[in-house]
Amino acid sequence: MEVEKISGLKFHKKQDVAIVGAGMTTFKRRLNETGRELSYLAIKQALEEAGITIDDIEMVVMGSAPDTFDGLHMKGEYLLDGSGGSDRPYMRVFVGGGTGVFAPIAGYWHVASGLADVCLVVCEEKMSSSHPHPQSAFKYIWDPILDRPLSPNLIWIFALEMRRYMHVHNIKHEDIALVSVKNKGNALDHPCAQVAEKITVEDVLNSEPMALPVRRLDVSPPSDGAAALIMVAPHIARQLTDNPVWVTGVGWALDTTWWTNRDLYFPRYVAEAAKMAYRQAHINDPRKEIDVAEPYDPFDYKELHHMEGLGLAKKGEAPILTREGVTQRDGDLPTCPSGGLLGVGNPIAATMGVKACELYWQLAYRAGKRQVAKEVTTGVCQAWGDLMQVGTVMVMSNKR
């Protein structure tokens, strides 16, 4: 057995893990399909891209965020048959919005441990079932005694965080709005996109105020959809493709649930998770060694926040890189070339399609019109969730 010893991290890996196929549905309001049907549609694409059938799948990881969206307790069990979980070892994982990268991390455990040689990871979210609005469901993630009597919602919590970030680094809304302009524009090349459009900084600044500084175009939309990934052992990858993409590092971390007691300007949970993943991937200087990134962007400032957590920019530097065009698709460090959540949509867990799946497509040179201009070897994707406290990070490389 191969044993890797990395300082500060006990890490015993049985085998390397490759990604050989991915798929996703369009992101939009999909009343016509059930969550099971959405999962099935995404899996079919991933199997086809990998060149295998469902019979080849040994184990399944399902990722889906709170049960309150679908209105079904034990949603994982409900979704099982459309997720290929029937008669197989099957588990559901979720860390709220962080699920889109946490689910592939769980898939990685399955293969790296040697328990499975072929693992299917599928993420689904159907937010449109929830009324009066999917946002209403978030009310019940707060502490029932300290927070909930004030009727908080996510938008104003994020507004507090955005304000703090802007204040500490003296950042203008104009600089943050550039992220929304970039991502919604990138999404024009994504066939699954919900809110792709060519907009300007002025459009963002003049859009409807929600909880200032957050305005309508700073935010990603609720959505329905599913995404799937096929993760395999090296000997399987060799049979299927000449160009597998390797998972070289995974990391996850949670900060305290007492969110008011954090300094909101910097996502420590992402920094901790990134540190774990980079150590495993032998990355010392992420800004130099990462060629393409998919940081989690449910809000425009969040992409910047997360770039800094991921060490892709110094604290307060992400808006400068964005203004200089470094993060454009033809820039030196393209971020969210998929169009991200801001452009493609935000079906919580299913955003795996624009994070882990997109990174795989970029590194496999399968991203089509979305392919970044520069040569790419190594990339990072990240998601964030729970009570604004979890960071989930995956590093991939097309060199083993």
Gap between the Cα atoms of 352 and 216, Å rounded: 23
Per CB under 8 A, the segment of 50-58, 98-106, 191-199, 209-217 that binds another protein is 50-58
Closer of 290 and 348 to another protein (Cβ): 348
Distance CA 25, CA 188 (A): 16
Axis-axis angle for helices 173-186, 154-169 (nearest 10): 120
Q: Which of 2, 144, 150, 288 binds another protein (CB under 8 A)?
A: 144
By CB under 8 A, tell whether 145 contacts another protein: yes
Q: In whole angstroms, what is the distance from residue 4 CA to residue 198 CA?
A: 47
Q: Does 43 bind another protein (CB under 8 A)?
A: yes
Q: Residue 39 Cβ, how far from another protein at the closest point, in Å?
A: 10
Minimal distance in Å, beta carbon 5 to another protein? 41
Rank residues 131 and 399 by Cβ distance to another protein and give the closer one.
131
| Binding test (CB under 8 A) with another protein, winner from 54, 160, 201, 205 | 54
The residue within the footprint of another protein, chosen from 31, 115, 212, 373 (CB under 8 A), is 31
- Say if residues 272 and 253 touch (Cβ distance below 8 Å): yes
- Return the residue of 13, 14, 29, 33 that touches another protein, per CB under 8 A: 33
44 in contact with another protein (CB under 8 A): yes
Nearest distance from residue 20's CB to another protein, in Å? 17
Q: According to CB under 8 A, which one of 14, 15, 29, 37 is a site residue for another protein?
A: 37
152: which residues sit within 8 A by CB, 6+ positions away? 139, 142
Coil, strand or helix at 186: helix
Burial class (CB in 10 A: 0-12, 13-18, 19+), 324: exposed
Given candidates 11, 16, 34, 199, which one binds another protein under the rule CB under 8 A?
A: 34
**CB 195 → another protein: shortest distance, Å?**
22
Q: How far is the CB of 77 from another protein (least distance, A)?
A: 13
> Site map for another protein, 72-91, x if CB under 8 A?
---------xx-x-xx----
Contact 389, 257 (CB under 8 A): yes
**153 contributes a contact to another protein by CB under 8 A:** no
Give how many residues touch another protein by CB under 8 A. 32
Query: Which residues lie below 8 Å from residue 253, measured CB to CB, with a gap of 6+?
Result: 269, 270, 272, 273, 276, 390, 391
Structure tokens at 157: 């919590």
DSSP at 233: -
Q: Contact at 8 Å (CB) between 355 and 382? A: yes
Half-sphere exposure of 65 (CA within 13 A, CB side): 32
Residues near another protein (CB under 8 A) are 31-34, 36-37, 40, 43-44, 47, 53-55, 68, 70-71, 81-82, 84, 86-87, 129-132, 136-137, 140, 144-145, 148-149
